[in-house]
Amino acid sequence: MTTPSSYSLLELNQYIRRVISLNFDEPVWIECEIGQASLSRGHWYLDLIQKEGETIAAQCQAAMWANVYAYLKRKSPIPPEEILKQGMSVKLKVNVDYHERYGLKLIIEDMDSSFTIGVLEMQRQAILRAIKERNLVRKNAETHLPSVVQRLAVISSDRAAGWKDFVKHLEDNPFGFHIIPSLFEAAMQGQQVETEILDCLDKIEKNLSKYDAVAIIRGGGGRTDLAAFDNLKLAVRIAEYPIPVLIGIGHEIDQSILDLVAYKSLKTPTAVADFVIEHNAAFENRLDEVWKWIREESKDRIREEKQKVMELANDLHHAVRARIVLENNKMDHLVMLLRQSGKNLILGHTRRLEFIYTLLSAIDPDKVLARGYSITTHKGVSVSRAADLHRGMNIQTTFRDGTIKSIVE
Amino acid sequence: MKKNLTDYDKAILQLEKLVAQIQNGEMGLEEMRNEVKAAMELIRLCRNKLRNIETDLDAVMEEE
């Protein structure tokens, strides 16, 4: 057989098909990344890629038929649809299929979900180490959450059920608190999570004074959905964010890296809403307690002051009474002194009078005559010396019982 | 914190001083008569003030 000088395209493709069939007569395991994934009528169509740095070094289309998908769904510990997503690392058992018209395609026969989980976990552990080395664990919890949280910047998707539940939960709060959530839209799954959430955080930071806290929320998701939140750039941004960031990204079992750095990590959006409502309610309770304390204290104070004024009035009354009594006593004493001194004065005078009387009595002429003495007078003048008398003088001598006249010889 | 004395506080201090002066006998009787008259007026004002404060506080607290 002679070699033709050229092949038809069909002949070439048939040749390629034979070569491939001969070399890949059995399925092989490959490790790659999913570039794109879509589901159509039960079949999955994937773009598989391998990157070197940021460049795609290899690319190939692949398909997973509905029967294989159903088989994987039964045997895999996590649903295959959680793995069949853009950006996921996968280990697939593929048949290399070549069709003359449709070209090369890998037909997926099996998938090792533990490989994907392992890769994710390794990535997660690497980020976790970086977070710990940079002391970012619970770093955002050092920010101050205002006593009353009213203005919430919410990063979510308005299509997410979690956002609607969150808003309704806040509106229906039993205390009637007015809490205003402002939505900043971002992808909540897939590769856009990082850039869109970072954009939202930038926008919020430009108007930081308008918000009390940030909440990043989304409804429930699978285990691998959470992988987008195991992101170092996001973790660093949230850890160092100037106001509290609350996380409610809807997962029950695992923690994402963001949960480790945020102010508070909660399982669901409604749990975040409950946290905010209870935080505000706690403040209201504290206010009630302070109010009760003020009321009791002011009543006590008024009572004390009334007592004080009453005691002062009593003290004043007693002081005045005591002073009046004292002054009365002084007055009584003075009166007594006056009386006493009056009496003494009178007694003195009386004594003096009596003394004078005694003196006078001693020289009373009648009393002298009565004692046997006589009084001689010359011309009415008392004669006390014999030398005063001369011969021939007429004198008069008075006795107790009468008077005689005589002439001096 | 520096405490500014209110009229009420000043009145209480004045009354306490007056009682002490009377008790210590530091005041003449005529002066005491005038001072006690003024003190009784002060006590009346203090009582009124306390009554007014209490009424106001009761009213405010009733609102809650």
Which among A291, A305, A320 has the least Cβ separation from residue B36? A320
A309 CB neighbours in chain B (<8 A) are 12, 43, 46-47, 50
Q: A349, exposed or middle or buried, with CB in 10 Å at 0-12, 13-18, 19+?
A: exposed
CA angle A210, A215, A219 (to 5 degrees): 145
Contact B61 A327 (CB under 8 A): no
Q: Specify which residues A192 forms β-bridges with.
A: none
Q: A362, exposed or middle or buried, with CB in 10 Å at 0-12, 13-18, 19+?
A: exposed
Phi, psi of A322 (to 5 degrees): -60, -40
Count of beta carbons in the 10 Å neighbourhood of residue A330: 10
pLDDT of residue A1: 46
Q: How far is A278 from chain B (nearest CA, A)?
A: 22
Q: Count the alpha carbons within 13 Å of A162 in the hemisphere toward its beta carbon.
A: 28
Three-state secondary structure string covering A364-385 = CHHHHHHCCCCEEEECCEECCC
Mutate to test the interface with B, among A284, A299, A315, A316 (most CBs of B within 10 A): A316
What's the rounded Cα separation, in Å, for the pair B36 and A77? 96
B8 CB neighbours in chain A (<8 A) are 305
B29 CB neighbours in chain A (<8 A) are 323, 327
Which among A302, A312, A322 has the least Cβ separation from residue B50? A302
Task: Give A 299-338 residues with CB within 8 A of chain B.
Answer: 299, 302, 305-306, 308-309, 312-313, 315-316, 319-320, 322-323, 326-327
User: Helix, strand or coil for residue B6?
Assistant: coil
Residues of B with CB under 8 A from a CB of A: 8, 12, 15-16, 18-19, 22-23, 25, 29, 32, 36, 39-40, 43, 46-47, 50, 53-54, 57, 61, 64
pLDDT of residue A112: 92
B64 CB neighbours in chain A (<8 A) are 291
A170 is written with which tokens? 């806040």
Whole-structure pTM value: 0.60
Task: Give A 271-300 residues with CB within 8 A of chain B.
Answer: 291, 295, 298-299
A73 secondary structure, DSSP code = H
A-B Cβ pairs (cutoff 8 Å, strict): 48
pLDDT of residue B1: 46
What's the rounded Cα separation, in Å, for the pair A256 and B37? 81
- Residues A323, B25 contacting (CB under 8 angstroms): yes
Which among B12, B22, B46 has the least Cβ separation from residue A323? B22
What's the rounded Cα separation, in Å, for the pair B9 and A64? 90
A351 is written with which tokens? 């004594």
Contact B64 A299 (CB under 8 A): no
Q: What is the ipTM of this complex?
A: 0.71
Contact A320 B32 (CB under 8 A): yes
What's the rounded Cα separation, in Å, for the pair B59 and B64? 9
A295 CB neighbours in chain B (<8 A) are 57, 61
**Residue partners of A170: CB distance under 8 A and separation at least 6:** A152, A179, A181, A273, A276, A277
409 residues of chain A, pLDDT tens digit each: 456 688 899 999 999 999 999 999 899 999 999 988 999 999 999 999 998 988 899 999 999 999 999 999 998 878 888 889 888 899 999 999 999 999 999 999 999 988 988 888 888 888 889 999 999 999 999 999 999 999 999 999 877 678 888 999 999 999 999 999 999 999 887 778 899 999 999 999 999 999 999 999 987 655 556 778 888 999 999 999 999 999 998 765 567 788 889 999 998 899 999 999 999 999 999 999 999 998 899 889 999 999 999 999 999 889 888 888 888 888 788 788 877 877 787 788 788 778 877 877 776 777 778 888 888 888 888 888 888 888 888 999 988 888 899 998 8
